[in-house]
Structure 1
Amino acid sequence: MAIKWTEQMLDYIRRQAPNHSHRHIADDLSCMTGLEITEGMVRSTTKRYKIKGRDCRFRHGSIPANKGLSIPSHTNSVATQFKKGSKPTTWLPIGSERIADGYVQVKMTDTGYPPRDWVAKHRLIWEAHNGPLPDKTMLRFIDGDRTNIRLDNLLAVTRQENAVMNRWLRVNDMPEGGLISLHLMAKIKIKASQRKKEFS
């Protein structure tokens, strides 16, 4: 039911809104007018007439009511809490290996942050023989098997070359000669594009 808001009703809302909830104001107005006024009606009216309501934000410098108080734990929660120095059942020591997203990973540190602790083993093998992997370069598996981390199965490609190779594979089959041939084709295509820009 639509409510015709009188100036007296709006004035009452303006005076009450800074200190009372919409539900409280709605109940008061319902009693005063005999109309069925809901919390939602009051809320929409304050928005329509741009009436400011209660500011419930925690002001800068305010002190929380529970500051300095020790909140006791529930009896059942204490029994299941991690004790200081305890480790989760999934914890593994440094040097452990695992398979994640199809890749073999080795645990190198124990910070508790998996992306930092676990390193791809195929990258460690490649860098042990070739030095740090250059910037914007990644490793691909020649036979497509991510668990085959032998050095002769790892191919270093730039991210630009990898993008060209992936675009080819979306519409074509793997060329004869496999990934190595596809890598060579990508390098030729990139070089040709660079030369074309130079002469255009």
Structure 2
Amino acid sequence: MGRTSWSEEHVRWLRENYRKLHPRDIHAAFNARFGLDRPWLAIRDAAKRRGITGCKPPSIFTAEQKDWIRANFPRHRRPEACRLFAERFGATPDAAQVMRWAKANHVRSAWDGRYRQGENRGGENWRKMVAHPNSIATRFSKGRRPDNERPMFSERVQHDSATGAPYVLIKVPLPDPHRPHLHHSWIRKALWVWREAGREIPEGHAVVHRDGDTLNCELGNLDCVPRAVLIWLNAPWAPGYAGPDANPARVRIAQIGHAIARLERTAGPLSGPAADDGDRA
């Protein structure tokens, strides 16, 4: 079998019409134009060897239908627009095809995502859940409290994420700033005991434990100090923890060092043994 020849006129016709027609239409139109009977695969391979690609797929929409969608979709919502389209042009193309074509061609409908007053949101058409009768006994009814709910003023121990030190939390009847729907919150017991005794915590101050035991939240074991004192307690040069009996003196040393540093900032360097101790600190 000899090789099929392609004239310049054949190639010129393919270049002009290949991207305009569907493959089956190209096959029929080419053979009708030149009076030949060449198979589609031969026409396709000839076009491919010459860099001619991109056959246009057939469209199920006519030009009139496309113009109608562009003109009427922006004035109606999708279900209404599809119904009007079916009344005008019939059931083919169907509603799903109409909506896909509109979306692919960036034709927006009148739906803006907002329900107007009095409109049906479709809730009555939803299928309600059919529950098993045995689930009624264990169903969580309105107003019921969970069985694992802790009573007010319950306590729990939690560990600091940075230092690992334990501290006591207490459940109190104060609104939770992070969860406004709750009427209780968990706060540190040391702060609650200090405030319940009628004592304030000024801004920039913190409550510390005199004996160093963060689980001992008795009022006599608490003290309110400036937060700058915490630096003197936790600094590398600060005296180490030597037990509950010696820790109150450790807190006082930190308070004295902080007071000396504050006076030096306001009144200038001090002279005497206290200043020497502060310099060494």
TM-score of the two chains, using structure 1 as the length reference: 0.53
Deviation of the 1:97 alpha carbon:
2.7
Deviation readout 1:95-152 (Å, 9 max, x if unpaired): 53322454323445499977735554323443455x2324424312345542122334
- The aligned counterpart of 2:238 is 175
Unmatched runs of 5 consecutive residues or more in structure 1: 31-36
- The aligned counterpart of 1:27 is 97
- Tell me if structure 2 keeps the 8 A contact 1:104–1:120: yes
- The aligned counterpart of 2:154 is 96
> Taking structure 1 as reference, are residues 59 and 100 closer, same or farther at Cα in structure 2, changes over 3 Å only?
farther
CA distance in 2, matches of 1:183, 1:11: 84
Unmatched runs of 5 consecutive residues or more in structure 2: 1-53, 57-62, 80-93, 160-165, 240-248, 269-281
TM-score of the two chains, using structure 2 as the length reference: 0.41
> Taking structure 1 as reference, are residues 168 and 57 closer, same or farther at Cα in structure 2, changes over 3 Å only?
farther
The counterpart of 1:155, out of the listed 197, 216, 223, is: 223
Higher relative contact order (CA 8 A, sep 6+): 1
The counterpart of 1:78, out of the listed 136, 161, 168, is: 136
- Tell me if structure 2 keeps the 8 A contact 1:93–1:110: no
SS in 2 for 1:80: coil
Q: How does 1:91-170 map to 2 (within 5 A)?
A: 91-100=149-158, 102-109=166-173, 116=184, 118=186, 120-127=188-195, 131-136=198-203, 137-142=205-210, 144-157=212-225, 161-162=226-227, 164-165=228-229
Deviation of the 1:154 alpha carbon:
2.0
Question: Which structure has the larger Rg over C-alpha atoms?
Answer: 2
CA distance in 2, matches of 1:184, 1:115: 41
Residue 103 of structure 1 aligns to which amino acid in structure 2? Y
> Taking structure 1 as reference, are residues 187 and 110 closer, same or farther at Cα in structure 2, changes over 3 Å only?
closer
Aligned residues: 169
* Identity level (%): 21
Q: How does 1:61-72 map to 2 (within 5 A)?
A: 62=119, 64=121, 66=123
- The aligned counterpart of 1:13 is 70
- Tell me if structure 2 keeps the 8 A contact 1:96–1:106: yes
- Tell me if structure 2 keeps the 8 A contact 1:98–1:106: yes
Deviation readout 1:36-61 (Å, 9 max, x if unpaired): x694x34xx35xxxx56422312245
